[in-house]
């Protein structure tokens, strides 16, 4: 199966999944207690009678269920995610404005957690049973048990409030008027704490996986073959164990991407990072369901994209898959 057909079939699957999520959203709106129009308009008093009437008409709430469903899904397919009465703007526009910040944050956190996780995992497995291994695994266990948002808060407290090393709030220094490189540097400084605290938990996950996988692979027969060839320990780890051990970690990382995107809601909330997670948090208090569901759909789309990318990477690394199918 060529890479093109793989991408095509994955894209098709992604489309079906997104369609299903749109249907799920529709069902949720209808399952919510109360009149969907009222639900959509929000309870915060943003909607008057006339607006609710307009909504009823727009969604055809007086029409049969399947017609309503069709209308809803149709509008989602045309990227019409509805209107946020709280923010006074179309949801799609709100999300589009905030998406780059979230992408920057999650991708940075993903890369940091994967690279560091694998590196520490390899290091721990090479020193299995020794003090440094115990230290690394204990730390991983601790990070694994730490709530994301709490780690973020504590980081703000320590590095921003007490030590004053790094900004603990926002995306860039407001009103500083930086441009070009200076601006990039400013954003990078703001990015450090959010990306690290978001990546910490996942780093722990990948480290534990990598360590376990390395140890498991090192028991396999071909490692003994490599030893019998006269290869040195480091060469065996690098050439034989690592490559085989990393494949399952990459697969898992792809699957975990969903949790990373979910975690961004918490991190962005704590750091006032102007991404879609923060948007979701703001919408929660306002009961702005259109925006909440919109963010939900877009974050699912991000996960699907992550998954497709890891799937393709996997296929490029493992020679067995392409031939088997």
Q: Which of residues 224-263 bind another protein (CB under 8 A)?
A: 224-232, 235, 239-240, 243-244, 255, 258-259, 261-263
Based on CB atoms, which residue is closest to another protein, 117 or 263? 263
Residue choice 46, 107, 126, 284 for contact with another protein (CB under 8 A): 284
Residue choice 31, 131, 163, 181 for contact with another protein (CB under 8 A): 31
Tokens 């990072």, residue located: 273
| 220 binds another protein, rule: CB under 8 A | yes
Based on CB atoms, which residue is closest to another protein, 43 or 184? 43
Assess contact for 293 and 21: CB atoms under 8 A. Answer: no
- Closest distance to another protein from the beta carbon of 118 (Å): 16
- Closest distance to another protein from the beta carbon of 86 (Å): 14
Instruction: For 122-151, give the DSSP string.
Output: HHHHHTTTSHHHHHHHHHHHHHHTS-HHHH
Which residues between 61 and 100 bind another protein (CB under 8 A)? none
First to last CA, the chain: 6
Outline where the chain has alpha helix (H): 3-31, 36-41, 49-59, 65-77, 91-126, 131-144, 148-155, 180-217, 221-228, 233-236, 243-271, 276-286, 289-317, 319-324
Which residues between 171 and 200 bind another protein (CB under 8 A)? none
Question: 240 exposed, middle or buried (CB, 10 Å; 0-12, 13-18, 19+)?
Answer: buried
Dist CA 324 CA 248 (whole Å):
18
Which residues between 9 and 28 bind another protein (CB under 8 A)? 9, 17, 20-21, 28
Binding part of the chain for another protein, among 76-84, 117-125, 185-193, 287-295 by CB under 8 A, reads 287-295
Burial 216-225 (b: 16+ CB within 10 A, else e): ebbeeeebee
Based on CB atoms, which residue is closest to another protein, 187 or 305? 305
Query: Which of 252, 261, 254 minimizes the C-alpha distance to 109?
Result: 261
Dist CA 85 CA 286 (whole Å):
10
| 165 binds another protein, rule: CB under 8 A | no
- Closest distance to another protein from the beta carbon of 233 (Å): 9
- Closest distance to another protein from the beta carbon of 28 (Å): 5
Dist CA 325 CA 317 (whole Å):
15
Based on CB atoms, which residue is closest to another protein, 136 or 265? 265
Residue choice 54, 99, 149, 192 for contact with another protein (CB under 8 A): 149
Binding part of the chain for another protein, among 83-91, 113-121, 147-155, 179-187 by CB under 8 A, reads 147-155
């Amino acid at each position: 199966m060529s890479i093109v057909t793989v991408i095509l079939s994955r894209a098709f699957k992604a489309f079906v999944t997104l369609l299903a999520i749109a249907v799920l959203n529709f069902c949720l709106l209808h399952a919510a207690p109360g009149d969907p129009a009222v639900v959509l308009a929000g309870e915060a008093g943003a909607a008057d009678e006339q607006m609710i009437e307009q909504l009823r008409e727009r969604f055809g709430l007086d029409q049969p269920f399947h017609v309503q469903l069709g209308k809803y899904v149709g509008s989602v397919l045309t990227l019409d995610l509805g209107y946020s009465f709280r923010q006074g703007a179309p949801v799609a526009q709100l999300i589009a404005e905030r998406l780059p910040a979230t992408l920057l944050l999650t991708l940075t956190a993903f890369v940091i957690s994967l690279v560091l996780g694998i590196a520490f995992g390899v290091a721990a497995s090479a020193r299995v049973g020794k003090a440094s291994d115990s230290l690394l695994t204990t730390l991983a266990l601790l990070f694994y048990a730490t709530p994301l948002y709490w780690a973020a808060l504590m980081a703000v407290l320590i590095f921003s409030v007490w030590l004053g090393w790094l900004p603990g709030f926002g995306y860039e220094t407001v009103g500083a008027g930086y441009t070009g490189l200076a601006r990039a540097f400013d954003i990078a400084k703001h990015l450090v704490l959010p990306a690290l605290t978001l990546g910490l938990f996942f780093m722990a996950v990948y480290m534990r996986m990598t360590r376990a996988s390395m140890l498991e692979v090192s028991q396999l027969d071909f490692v003994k073959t490599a030893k019998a060839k006269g290869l040195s320990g480091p060469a065996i780890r690098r050439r034989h164990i690592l490559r085989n051990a990393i494949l399952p970690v990459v697969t898992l990382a792809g699957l975990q991407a969903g949790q990373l995107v979910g975690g961004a809601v918490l991190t962005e909330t704590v750091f006032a990072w102007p991404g879609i997670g923060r948007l979701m948090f703001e919408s929660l208090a306002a009961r702005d369901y259109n925006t909440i569901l919109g963010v939900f759909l877009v974050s699912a789309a991000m996960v699907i994209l992550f998954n497709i990318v890891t799937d393709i990477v996997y296929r490029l690394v493992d020679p067995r898959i392409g031939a088997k199918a």
